[in-house]
Amino acid sequence: MKRRKFIRNSGTVAAGIISTPLLASCNEKSKTPLKTSNTTEAVIPIAICTWDFGNATAKAWEVLKAGGNALDAVHQGVMVEENDLNNNTVGNGGRPDRDGHVTLDACIMDKDGNCGAVLAMENIANPISVARKVMEETPHVMLAGKGAEQFAYEQGFEKTDLLTEKSKQDWLEWKKTSEYKPIINIENHDTIGMLAIDKNGDIAGACTTSGMAYKMAGRVGDSPIIGAGLFVDNEIGGATATGVGEEVVRTVGSFLIVELMRQGKSPQEACEEGVKRIIAKNKDKQDFQIGFIAINKKGETGGYCIHPGFTYRTYTENGHINNPSESYLEY
């Protein structure tokens, strides 16, 4: 039986009760033992991402360690997951919509508040790269559907069949019941949202997903929506989200978290408040997952979710850590 958790005093967390970091090799995924408390130490450079996408943070760290900027770090970091065919929730190999079409969403935001996004784009394996092109090469912020795909071809991206045999078989199986029911903590990974601070103290973020499996054709969640799935303000920090996007959009979650940090909350406190706003709008319904992560200008981090099981990766000079997120519910 689920029960409401007594929210821990975030001041205690912020005061820095930090357990010994458990270091993981770059290629380890999902099997890494977890720390017992959220990290709040201030350290830069840093890369942080939703879930246990250790290969992605390892790539981002490689960029940061070589002196690269935060924008390149998050871009190259999340691309690792877009290219991983075994990852059924991001990029190539992602689960399709209910009609069997893989439609991808992504957005990216830099230290100057520039941003770009693609929504419900088909046949292109790296939506985050197209989102960056939208940011850098067009007067627009968002391109959707066929327009996004056409733009990608014009920019030299190749047409790719994104539906793997495995995803196709899973979809055919799903069609037997055709019940749309987002699964909490599916495969222990989902959308990848990544934030990074480089050696100059500049912040950037990226977010990329195949969206909710078996969604309606044309459905777009929070992930490519600046302010909802991702937000960066170089003076304050950044935030990004995973989970049922409709609920994140309703609270403009990532923007909210950055604004809460602007008002003085720690990243941990801000993520907790973000989740509580969503809970407040769903008093009778808590059978869905949301996970937020945030970082402030100093390099302090936080993460919070509704259901236990969400984790987030951090990579700093102090190690490569899979952090268990505290949750609103416990069971």
Residues taking part in catalysis = 191
Return the half-sphere exposure (C-beta side, CA atoms, 13 A cut-off) of residue 249.
10
Q: Which residues 231-250 are close enough to bind ligand ASP by CB under 6 A?
A: 242-245
Binding segment toward ligand ASP, per CB under 6 A, in 94-102, 216-224, 262-270, 292-300? 216-224
Q: How far is the CB of 221 from ligand ASP (least distance, A)?
A: 3
In our burial notation (b when 16+ CB lie closer than 10 A, e otherwise), range 250-266 reads ebbbbbbbbbbbeeebb
Per 3-state DSSP, the chain is made up of helix, strand and coil in percentages (nearest 5) of 30, 25, 50
Q: Which of 221, 238, 253, 299 binds ligand ASP (CB under 6 A)?
A: 221
Contact with ligand ASP (CB under 6 A): which of 82, 97, 110, 190?
Answer: 190
Calpha distance 247→326 (Å, rounded): 19
CB under 6 A: which stretch of 120-128, 150-158, 209-217, 260-268 binds ligand ASP? 209-217
Least distance to ligand ASP, CB of residue 17, Å: 29
Which amino acid is present at 233? D
As to burial, measured by CB atoms within 10 angstroms (0-12 exposed, 13-18 middle, 19+ buried), residue 114 is middle
By CB under 6 A, is residue 38 in contact with ligand ASP?
Answer: no
CA distances from 142 to 28, 88, 111, 118 (A): 34, 24, 18, 6
Question: Could you say which of 211, 227, 274, 308 contacts ligand ASP (CB under 6 A)?
Answer: 211
DSSP type of residue 188: G
Q: Does 185 bind ligand ASP (CB under 6 A)?
A: no
- Residue 88, interface with ligand ASP (CB under 6 A)? no
Residue 18 zone, left/alpha/beta (φ > 0; ψ -120 to 50; rest)? beta
Query: Per CB under 6 A, does 212 bind ligand ASP?
Result: yes
Determine the interface stretch with ligand ASP among 72-80, 215-223, 265-273, 314-322 (rule: CB under 6 A).
215-223
CB of 1 to ligand ASP, least distance (A): 25
DSSP tag of 324: E
- CB-wise, 157 or 214, nearer to ligand ASP? 214
Cβ pair 290, 243 in contact under 8 A = yes
Number of residues that bind ligand ASP (CB under 6 A): 12
Regarding 222 and contact with ligand ASP (CB under 6 A), the answer is: yes
| Residue 223 contacts ligand ASP per CB under 6 A | yes
Residue span binding ligand ASP (CB under 6 A) among the ranges 129-137, 172-180, 208-216, 309-317:
208-216
